[in-house]
Structure 1
Amino acid sequence: MVQERVRVERRLSAILAADVAGYSRLMHNDEEATHAKLTALLARGVEPAIAEHAGRIVKNTGDGFLAEFPSAVEAVRAAMQFQACINELAISEAEDARILFRVGLNIGDVIVEAHDIFGDGVNIAARLESIAEPGGICISQTVFNHARDKVAFEVEEAGEQTLKNIARPVHVYRIITDPHRRTVTPKPEGPALALPDKPSVAVLPLTNMSGDPEQEFVSDGIAEDVITALSRYPSLFVIARNSSFTYKGRAVDVRQVGRELGVRYVLEGSVRKAGNRIRVTAQLIEAATNNHVWAERYDRDLADVFAVQDELTEALTIALTPAIADAELRRAMRKPPGSLDAWAAYQRGLWHLSKATADDDETAEQFFRQAIELDPTFGGSYSALALYQLQAAALYQKLDLRDAQRSAETLARQAVALDGADAEARSCLGWALQARGEADDALAEIERALSMSPNLAIAHGHRGATLIFAKRPKEGLTALNACLRLDPRDPYLAVRLLHIACGLYFCGEYEASIEAAKRLIRSYPDFPMIFRWSAAALGQLGRTTEAKEELEKAVSRAPGAFDMYVRKRAPWFRPEDHAHLVDGLHKAGWKG
């Protein structure tokens, strides 16, 4: 039986896609005010302009809308009308509170349903909107051809643009809604600077919104300190102050900044003082796409300006590095395996390592080795491979422990030899020495790493575990908590939680150790190493029935680990710490 084809309604339409630039940041700053203001702008500025030019709003999208028109001419007129109205109203607003729309216009054959339209023409309009500037309008070549002799407007030619998920490049024009726009965003001359082989960021001078020239040193000081702090991270390429401060006092397009400085990310923001309060807003933007990666607002009492400056610098730095790492991981995961460069392969390896399973660990090793083959001069791959080897031996018994220790130390020393100022390499070397039981030498290397990069999360993690097994568990727990604060998505999070449970046990805080073990099991149910610690802690508390259940899991799920750590003693365990663990397990019912 031949199924009858369902007829769909199609028509040729001019499609307008619009959304609010920085909507998430605006809602984060003030949800109710933003919602009320957006509703008013739609009702007073947008909807009348669309209706006047024979258009209709097909659907609202929370922070934007999709509209269609029977004519490209009317679509352009409507867009220019409501953008002029909204841009004029925004002039009186504080910069960090302005609602500005980005608009994309295209012509296409669309599939029509009651409350939506579909098709490539719609998708292209949406992609054009995403590359428009706040307050701006991007149009396709087709729209330009239809409207240029019928509507009075000026354009900048943006050339052929490759738009996400659109098969063929689209020739794009930007309608000049601001006559001063040409001087603000001149067309780039020559090719853009090549991006470095690791995440790159430019910190622009923060805008002083206080109207008080004396506050200029505060905004400049925060930006300078953030540049200095980020420069200490070996995994980042940070543009120097002299270059990023050339944009001071200028209205800039972050895409232009990205091209001119050769960076993937741009941090911009503002500082506002009101009475004895100071507010700093900041947003991290991916330069090529103008997409917001991260945004935050900080409010502080201005009792001691220098203390506040230090506090704000620390808060910004702590928030930025995980945000950049997360953005880089998402970029790496989108790439097909055949097109990975060394940095992307390294990121893919860290992602698998973070899963804390034996199979994922083996996959991580393959990516780390691939990264070394692609770029033998990138020290991060050697450090990561060293940490994998130690983890594979200590957690899963996939490698002989002594062989892994020797190999990991060699790899860590290779990473240090490639760059002696690489704090991550120094920290990795310290961890390799800790695995051999050389706690003093390990701490010396890790402390050296932290002197280079005080907020390096992995170094705090290595320091914490080393102190826990060096008769300083309280200090170790403090360092581990600092690690988790600095990097809540640490690829080694499962190991950090394990070491916290160990440290609490050594401190005699058995209830807290059990809670830490539960936290680890909830997040990583297949992680094999925690059950002996929960069994020992339950044994110490006399909770025999529960202790026996955990002891059975410890023996059955990870027999190799139980043998290595309980029947024998790992090199980094002090005899008295090993005896403390065994005592708890005997109380849990172990007969060994």
Structure 2
Amino acid sequence: MKRSLFLAATILVITLMQVSALTAKKMTILVYPFSNTGEKQYSWVSAGMTDTVISDLCRIENVNVVSEEDRKKSLNEIELAQKGLIGEKGTIKVGRMMGADIIFTGTYVVIGNRIRVFAKLIDVESGRVEQSLKIDGTMDRIFEFQDRIVYGLMAETEKIRIADINPVKITTEDKKRIDSAFRPDTEAFMFYSRGLELKDADPKEALEYFKKALLIQGDYVEALIEAGITAGRELNRFQDAFGFLNRAAKIFARRGDTSSKHYAALMHRTGSVYLSKG
């Protein structure tokens, strides 16, 4: 009798564990732009760093990532954009609205060729800063530096357990995808980042920066996509927009990368330009 009860209890526990595993969802991460605490001339680093960190995270299979575009939409909806969203409370509010479990954010300072980031990992549910990291690097190796930020924050994220959320584990394949990702010329990245920084306030000037990036590196897919979105949705220059977006799609096809999250995002954003055109 006792053995039967033990077996029944064991089966029940295993069943509950399997159901829990099946119903658990992927962890959702929001990257909130890192704030510049140094000279204003390096303000563009924030936009570029946010873009790269999101791009790297999208190459990790078992996490969901809030896009920068969706984050900005949420700011408008809760009317915090005009207030500058100062402080962690505002950041957490955005995270909750977007359904995020974890927020990656922090500050940075550039002095000469040196860059230092103080990165924070925030648990949205509790509102606590779970971990802080100090990471040093150089501007001439900015992409390697940004990858280190991602790996450092993901290593800390792996330690976090949240109810009904699958534990995060970055795999060897994830790392291969991040390490083998296309990295543009450093100067092209600077122009691209300046475009990202300006595109909401001055889309015409932003488009010029994206085009400068493309003059340096014509196969810079991210610059092509942002140029297409800006030309189409913001400036109603639809012929130019589809030209940029079609070039991006051809590069994805040439690289054999049409099954990636990044290609899916391109298709979605191209569709949004068609909707804008009407």
> Which TM-score applies when normalising by structure 2?
0.46
* Greater Rg over alpha carbons, structure: 1
Structure number with higher relative contact order (C-alpha < 8 Å, ≥ 6 residues apart): 2
> Which TM-score applies when normalising by structure 1?
0.23
